[in-house]
Structure 1
Amino acid sequence: MQVELIETFLDLMESRSFNRTAERLNITQSTVSHRVKALEAQFNRKLFTRNKGGTVPTAAGLRFLDYAKALQNQWHEATRAVTNAGALERSMRLGIQHDLAEAFAGEWMAAIRQDLPSTEVYMEADYSNQMNRDLGAGDLDLAILYTPHYLPDLYYERIGDLHYVLVSTEARELAGIRSENYIRSSYSPTFDRAHRLALPHLSAALLSAGQNMAIRRLLTALGGSAYVTAATAERLIHEGSAFRVQDAPVIAQTVYAATSLRTRHAHQHRKIIAAMGALLSTLPVPAMVNSGP
């Protein structure tokens, strides 16, 4: 398997320029052309055409794209497996949404190490968009995320929910929330839609962020109002740093486990996913607080 041919093809599909692909891969333009011609010779089909507008994939090139991604993914998996052979039972690269890492990273790793003591684990916190890309490229084995992209060869399953509630340093009811002091939480497209439907007058704000930790620090430093995780809300209220906004809706964020279709039933994957599902199942669902007559 000549993986450099596949990687050159995929880069060219993204850059649409032989020059840019040569620069990005640190090779000459003639090498890019040679690799593309080698692929085209194997298929006996043109994969790209070049004109004044740049480099354009042919119908054959577009059809090969998903297969090329799958081949690259398999190569990365094989490379890691061979590299770690004899050292540990398995090496796993895990991605996790920022807010879930803040809430559960320690407990999740403790459960994984208990269930899979011979597995080497690398974990990184990231946003869903990047984790989907990394899964598709084979750079992650499994991810716990908010937003599935349903890319070819990837499998997603819902494993629970994380709940966000509105807190404020200045008001206990929605009527007292000032839009100029509102910090808009942008945790995912799903969260944004729910927020926009529930609180359209607060959907435009001067300040926004996409991580619970960042929003908590902004609230502490600047004051105002924002949606945070239920656990963070409890902590802020207990500290006397903020109030629960009593008549604001609770917004639930669905959590998904994502992995490749080939490994979705693998022993290690099922245990890792089950560990996060168990943690999510222990979370109480925050109720709407009645403001009274």
Structure 2
Amino acid sequence: MQIELIDTFLDLIETRSFNRSAERLGLTQSTISGRVVALEQALGARLFTRSRAGTQLTTEGLKFEPHARLLRQEWMMARRAVTDSGTAALTLRIGIQNDLVPAHLGALIAAFRALLPQAALYVEPDYSTQMCADLVTGALDFAILFTPKPQPDLYFDSLPDIPYRLISTDTANLSAITPERYVCANFSPAFETAHRQHLPHLSAAPLSVGQSSAVALLLTHLGGSGYVMESHARDLVAAGGFQMVTDAPVIRQPVYAAMHLRNRTGTTHKRMAEAARRRLQAGGAR
């Protein structure tokens, strides 16, 4: 069976539209239709019904969906199993939230290498949405991320959260900070919600960015105030030029270990999640 048929089937479940799936996959609508027909012929069952309300799964389609997800995952694992990885016993692809890279990447990978000395590791810094998508398809085996995206194929394990502190080139007092001299951090929906609750008057600042290192870079060049990861904040204050805004709330960012649902009880993935938990605790998280 061609894996493209499975990919098309699963994409249609999300879009409920032949036109939308054609756009997302970069194909013509006739190609999408042809793939569905080929899959239905191979299975001997109709998988979708089409109406003005959109494309809906039939009873047979609903039954086939979990098998399709497993087939896609198995295919990706099979492709990677035959890929040359030198003398390594296995290859693991690991995603990590971009914002965690400067403070935690080195220690995390050192911990994983000590834990899995026979494994070849491929590491990809990225954002939560893409990492969740890659875990679903099997392009990633394990990820550490900020925002879990609910998917029937994914499992999330809470890790120690990360504290962020407000620093400033101008003042140590929260009341003196104005939106015009503020870089609004937007690291995740959870962080944005907490920020809006604590500091509604600064949430509409004209300058916003989604990475701690980018906030620090803008503050270094432009001056002003903004939230950065606590470890980074202490380094910047110690180096001079910045003050800790001591009366500002500490905002904590939730962190999660993410993996495919089928790996949630696997020894390797459980040990990796525990290693990540220890590292974040040692790195100054909660």
CA shift for structure 1 position 34 = 3.2
Q: Name the SS of the counterpart of 2:147 in structure 1.
A: coil
Cα distance change on mapping 1:85 and 1:217 into 2, 3 Å: closer
Query: Residues 32, 193 of structure 1: CA spacing in aligned structure 2 closer, same or farther, 3 A cutoff?
Result: closer
The equivalent residue for 1:227 is 227
Instruction: Using structure 2 for the length normalisation, give the TM-score.
Output: 0.88
Q: Aligned residues, how many?
A: 283
- Contact 1:84/1:91 (CA < 8 Å) preserved in 2? no
Match of 2:160 in 1: 160
- Which residue is equivalent to 1:56? 55
C-alpha contact 2:46 2:58 (8 A) present in aligned 1: no
Contact 1:96 1:144 in 2 (8 A): yes
Call closer, same or farther: CA 1:165–1:43 in 2, change over 3 Å: farther
* Deviation per residue, 1:7-31 (Å, 9 max, x gap): 23234454833697399466x7655
Separation (CA, whole Å) in 1 of partners of 2:24 and 2:143: 31
> Closer, same or farther in 2 for the Cα pair 1:30/1:185, shift >3 Å?
closer
Q: Which amino acid aligns with 2:22?
A: T
Letter in 2 for 1:57: Q
Separation in structure 2 between the aligned mates of residue 39 and residue 99 of structure 1, nearest angstrom: 41
Whole-angstrom distance in 1 between the partners of 2:60 and 2:206: 44
Partner of 2:18 in structure 1?
17
Q: Distance in 1 between matches of 2:25 and 2:192?
A: 35
Q: Per-residue displacement from partner, 1:162-216 (whole Å, max 9, x unpaired)?
A: 1001011111111110111111101111111111111111111101111111111
2:272 corresponding residue in structure 1: 272
Deviation larger for 144-153 or 70-79 = 70-79
* 2:77 matched residue in structure 1: 77
Instruction: Quote the Cα distance in structure 1 between the aligned partners of 2:20 and 2:174.
Output: 55
* Aligned partners of 1:184 and 1:209 also within 8 Å: yes
Secondary structure of the residue aligned to 2:234 is helix
- Give the counterpart letter for 1:143 in structure 2: A
Counterpart Cα distance in 2 of 1:151 and 1:111: 28
Call closer, same or farther: CA 1:108–1:37 in 2, change over 3 Å: same
Aligned to 1:104: 104
Q: Which residue does the alignment assign to 1:44?
A: 45
Cα offsets for 1:50-82 (capped at 9, x unmatched): 76x9x6334448735554334212221222123
1:83 alignment partner, SS class:
coil
**What is the Cα deviation at residue 40 of structure 1?**
2.2
> What one-letter code is carried by the residue in structure 2 that aligns with 1:177?
I
Partner of 1:289: none
**Kept in 1: contact 2:16–2:56 (CA 8 A):** no
Query: Unaligned stretches of 5+ in structure 2?
Result: none
Residues 1-293 of structure 1 aligned to structure 2 (within 5 Å): 1-13=1-13, 14=15, 16-17=17-18, 21=22, 24=25, 31-41=31-41, 42-49=43-50, 56-60=55-59, 63=62, 64-65=64-65, 67-84=67-84, 87-284=87-284
C-alpha distance in structure 1 between counterparts of 2:71 and 2:170, whole Å: 55
| Conserved 8 A contact 2:94-2:121 | yes
What amino acid is the match of 2:55?
V
User: Contact between 1:157 and 1:256, CA under 8 Å: does it hold in 2?
Assistant: yes
Worse-matched range after superposition: 57-66 or 247-256: 57-66
- Contact 1:167/1:233, CA 8 A, preserved across alignment: yes
* Counterpart code for 2:267: H
RMSD across aligned C-alpha pairs, in angstroms?
Answer: 2.6
Moved more, 86-95 or 196-205: 86-95
Paired position in structure 2 for 1:291: none
